[in-house]
Amino acid sequence: MAITCSTRNSATGPPVGEKGIVEKNVQDSASADLAGRNERRWANLEELNDWVGQECRTAWEAMAHPEWPELTLADLLRDEQLQMMPNPRPFDGYVEKPIRVSSTALIHFQRNRYSVPSDCAHRVISLRIYPAELRLVADGVEVARHERSFERHQTYYDFRHYIGVIERKPGALRNGAPFADMPEPLLVLQRHLLKQTGGDRVMADVLAAIPRHGLDGVVVAAELALESGRPSGEHVLNVLARLKDRP
Please tell me the predicted confidence (pLDDT) of residue 227: 87
| b/e sequence 154-167, b meaning 16+ C-beta within 10 Å | eebbbbbbbbbbbe
Domain membership of residue 75 (yes or no) is: yes
Q: Is the same domain home to 177 and 152?
A: no
Domain membership of residue 2 (yes or no) is: no
Query: Residue 130: which region, alpha, beta or left (left: phi > 0; alpha: psi -120 to 50)?
Result: beta
Q: Is the same domain home to 79 and 100?
A: no
Whether 116 has a pLDDT exceeding 90, the answer reads yes
Contact, 133 vs 143, CB < 8 A? Answer: no
Contact, 233 vs 203, CB < 8 A? Answer: yes
Q: Is the same domain home to 147 and 103?
A: yes
Neighbour-count burial of 229, counting CB atoms closer than 10 A to its CB (0-12 exposed, 13-18 middle, 19+ buried): exposed
Domain membership of residue 236 (yes or no) is: yes
pTM for this prediction: 0.69
Domain membership of residue 164 (yes or no) is: no
| b/e sequence 69-81, b meaning 16+ C-beta within 10 Å | eeebbbeeeeeee
Domain membership of residue 163 (yes or no) is: no
Q: What is the mean pLDDT of residues 23-44?
A: 65
Domain membership of residue 10 (yes or no) is: no
- Please say which residue of 156, 180, 203 terminates a domain: 156
Domain coverage including residue 128: 96-156
Q: What is the mean pLDDT of residues 19-33?
A: 62
CB atoms under 10 Å from CB of 186, counted, come to 21
* Total residue length of the chain: 247
% of the chain with per-residue pLDDT over 90: 33
Q: Is the same domain home to 57 and 112?
A: no
Whether 84 has a pLDDT exceeding 50, the answer reads yes
Domain membership of residue 187 (yes or no) is: yes
Q: Which has more pLDDT, 48 or 242?
A: 48
Which range, of 91-95, 148-152, 174-178, 239-243, averages the lowest pLDDT? Answer: 239-243
Q: Is the same domain home to 78 and 50?
A: yes
Average of per-residue pLDDT values in the chain:
84
- Please say which residue of 83, 109, 132 terminates a domain: 83
Distance CA 45, CA 131 (A): 9
Number of separate domains in the chain: 3
Whether 106 has a pLDDT exceeding 90, the answer reads yes
Distance CA 221, CA 185 (A): 9
Q: Is the same domain home to 64 and 127?
A: no
Q: Is the same domain home to 70 and 107?
A: no
- Please say which residue of 53, 83, 113 terminates a domain: 83
Domain membership of residue 112 (yes or no) is: yes
Please tell me the predicted confidence (pLDDT) of residue 86: 82
pLDDT level of residue 22 (50, 70, 90 thresholds): low
Q: What is the mean pLDDT of residues 196-214?
A: 88
Render pLDDT for 133-164 as a digit per residue (tens, 0 to 9). Answer: 999 999 999 999 999 999 999 999 999 999 98
